[in-house]
Structure 1
Amino acid sequence: MIKGYLAAAILAGVVGTGVLAPVTAMAEEGAKAASVRPEVGKPVQSALDLLKSKKTKEALAKLKDAEAVKDRSPYEVYLVERVKAQVYATSGDSLAAARAFESAAALPGAPAGERASLVSAAAGQYYSGRDYAKASAIAGRAIKEGAADASLRTIYVQSMYLSGDFANTAKTLSADIRAEEQAQRKPSEEQLQMLATAYLKLNDQANYAKSVQKLLSYYPKKEYWQSVIYEAKQHGGLGDRLGLDLARLQRATGTIKTSAEYEDAVALALQAGYPIEAKKALDEGLAAKIMGQGADADRHRRLGDMTNKQLAEDKQQLGSQDAQAIAAKDGTAQVNLGFNYVLHGQADKGLAMMEAGIAKGGLKRPDDAKLRLGYAYYLAGKKAKAVQTMKTVSGTDGAAALAGLWAIFLSQNN
């Protein structure tokens, strides 16, 4: 009997799955405890030598010679199966490699300390072979058995997602992201993207919106702003009354992309009685060469003429209704007039008037007024106050959702 035969060969040759990190080699003490007869050990050694030269067919033939030996010990059975798994992995036959790694892990002769690594290798090979249901099941088992490799966790979650198990994908990712945040670590962009997509596949619009907002808070990319604003338009419960507020966020984040969106921003500002805001939106659209082009040029010119006319009238009337607004029983007029003052560059006067109007009360939609006060603080360059105000907006009809997005934007642009 040969003690510890092939230990060096195993350490050098039985590595790698093509997906996971190299399979952990057999512990040295385990190798010393094992006995491999020459009639088994020699063909296995030959297989490993052939594997170094990528001669996988010849290596498999040598392993068949080892398998033909009668009365193999549990360790000898395990050794042949494990080397076979590596040969299949090297040849690119991922599913055969996966089955062999899984089989090796279940054999009585497998060292206890190697089982988790072998199961991990099986999961990686099932993933490579696109058997995602099997990959997620095997990876989950490996994790339960103590495998802690981060790439295995990734395979586990991705396999669940790719097999269509979106509910468990979302559940697992949510737990992983909470753990990262509790440890004061930043969740990966890939985790957050997959979580958002899983909720979208589940048609869970509320959690989809929350996950995209979280993605946006950690990775403030313009495409994520576009996604979350689109979602707010489609499912945010904003209604027509908050259309102008949404356009303001679009302008601030630079996510207006079409002539129609700029036209809406201008038209809504005019309807609300803020022609100076309409003028600014129009000028932005023209400067970006999104408006005033092609077949729309004449319509945009007429829109500009209307905007300039209303702006001239607004400047003449500015201040003429202050006393009446202050004397009113509710604060609606004060909020609206104060906001207009801010738009005209008289921030201190306008903010004071808006605050007085909100304090007076009687507003039909006080949260809308707080949302616009927060925006007014932003326009006045008082971003800390803007964030503070946005965080006071509550309710479920869209204003709070917009305020939450503003709070994220403002915190990223101090």
Structure 2
Amino acid sequence: MKTHTRAWFAALLLGVAAGYAPAQTPAPAQESVRAEIGKSLQGAQELMKAGKFREALAKVREADAAPNPTAYERFILDRMRGSAAAGAGDEVVASRSFEAALASGRLQPAEALAILEALASSAYRTKDYAKAIEVAQRYFKEGGKSEPMRNLMTSAHYLSGDHAGVIRDMQQRVQAVEQSVPVVDETTLRMLAASYAKLGDDAGYANTLEKLLVHHPKKDYWEDRLTRLQNSAAFSDRLMLDLYRLRLATGTLDSTEQYFEMAQLALQAALPFEAKRVVDLGYAAGKFGSGAEAERHKRLRELVNRQAAEDEKALRVEVVGRTGEALVNMGQALVSAGRYDKGIELLEHGVAKGGLKRPEDARLHLAVAYFQGGSKPKAVETFKAVRGGEGVADLARLWGIHASRN
């Protein structure tokens, strides 16, 4: 399950941009913000634009101290406080404030959808799956169409044990695809694949397996295709982390050894945030923390936590190098930390600048970043543009299949 941090900050940025301008949130003529409140909110808005969210939150608290706020002033305060708290990482205050802004009934539809997406994402991150589902359902009822939100709702159903909800979500999505895309029946494709296998035609079998993934994606088909890719003579070991990422996305990262190796490869690639996420998922899935290797798992967790904390202090965009390679490396590090907008920007600049040792690898990483950041059309388009041997084009093609269905 990919993170939905980008959705949270989409609501944040929307709130900052809207401020309390009447053009963004129309109010009756008799409603206005008093000068003593407006001055503090203006200061908070400027601080948020500068990325100083904790200071902005303090400014909003100054405005909160004004006596006898009107309903309109409470609405403006709630929205601004929610934006500042979101940027400051205070999800409790942000959620409470955004919920109050929603309850006011004064939000414009697009802003309400962005805030609902943020609230669902926050509830999911804090493992309040029932609330995540409730808010996500409201989001879609009010016209939202975000694919990452559909993934979040399905994942929340699954993690809360509501498998009937998972089935309902997935059936609706399959039916929507079937109405718009011609589907080759599964029996025909399985028979075709079996015939290729009998003839020893590995290329024909792999091609048909990919058609099954397009029309009838199943874990078994993904496991078969990715195992064959990994075991092919042409596949390069340098792409193992990329293959594990696709395994994780397709639900085929199954064994303790796979989780452990993926975390180690992420550390070797100077991506401790990704390593930490993999280790956390390993513990959540019951792959780590028990048996004879429990102590080894603990040491790995301590290592990734320590390196992630160190990397948090070291990830300074202002000191990124000027070469394409430096831009790509910093961009990928930011993406792994969930900072999609800036990370994608640096990846784009690095790929465009050129001079890369492995440009197709970088293009693959850019496409994955688009997908993880919620830009599905860009992701699919970029996956199609990846070329090259040693398995990089194969991975891009398979990622493209996955992105097109999720």
C-alpha distance in 1 between matches for 2:273 and 2:338: 10
RMSD: 1.5
- What residue is the counterpart of 1:373 in the other structure? 366
The one-letter code of the counterpart of 2:243 is L
C-alpha distance in 1 between matches for 2:349 and 2:314: 21
Deviation at residue 324 of structure 1 after TM alignment: 4.7
C-alpha distance in 1 between matches for 2:367 and 2:214: 19
C-alpha distance in 1 between matches for 2:230 and 2:386: 19
Deviation at residue 306 of structure 1 after TM alignment: 1.2
Residue 408 of structure 1, aligned match among 389, 401, 404? 401
Deviation at residue 279 of structure 1 after TM alignment: 0.5
- What residue is the counterpart of 1:292 in the other structure? 289
Deviation at residue 231 of structure 1 after TM alignment: 1.1
C-alpha distance in 2 between matches for 1:194 and 1:203: 14
Residue 316 of structure 2, aligned match among 319, 341, 363? 319
- What residue is the counterpart of 1:189 in the other structure? 186
Q: Quick check: 1:334 aligned with 2:327?
A: yes
Task: Specify whether residues 384 and 236 from structure 1 end up closer, same or farther in structure 2 by C-alpha distance, changes over 3 A only.
Answer: farther
TM-score by length of 1: 0.53
Deviation at residue 236 of structure 1 after TM alignment: 6.8
- What residue is the counterpart of 1:352 in the other structure? 345
User: In the alignment, is the contact (CA less than 8 A) between 1:236 and 1:401 conserved in 2?
Assistant: no
- What residue is the counterpart of 2:382 in the other structure? 389
Higher relative contact order (CA 8 A, sep 6+): 2
User: In the alignment, is the contact (CA less than 8 A) between 2:320 and 2:327 conserved in 1?
Assistant: no
Query: What runs of 5+ residues in structure 2 fail to find an aligned partner?
Result: 1-180
C-alpha distance in 2 between matches for 1:195 and 1:336: 43
Residue 267 of structure 1, aligned match among 241, 264, 267? 264
C-alpha distance in 1 between matches for 2:305 and 2:202: 41
C-alpha distance in 2 between matches for 1:201 and 1:312: 53
- What residue is the counterpart of 2:204 in the other structure? 207
The one-letter code of the counterpart of 1:344 is A
Residue 361 of structure 1, aligned match among 333, 354, 371? 354
Deviations 1:204-236 (A, max 9, x none): 222221110011101011111111111111117
Deviation at residue 325 of structure 1 after TM alignment: 1.4
The one-letter code of the counterpart of 1:219 is H
User: In the alignment, is the contact (CA less than 8 A) between 1:205 and 1:235 conserved in 2?
Assistant: no
User: In the alignment, is the contact (CA less than 8 A) between 2:283 and 2:289 conserved in 1?
Assistant: yes
Deviation at residue 242 of structure 1 after TM alignment: 0.4
Identity of aligned residues (%): 46
C-alpha distance in 2 between matches for 1:334 and 1:238: 26
Q: Which has the larger radius of gyration?
A: 1
Deviations 1:76-103 (A, max 9, x none): xxxxxxxxxxxxxxxxxxxxxxxxxxxx
C-alpha distance in 2 between matches for 1:299 and 1:291: 9
Deviation at residue 308 of structure 1 after TM alignment: 1.2
C-alpha distance in 2 between matches for 1:345 and 1:257: 24
Q: How does 1:62-141 map to 2 (within 5 A)?
A: none
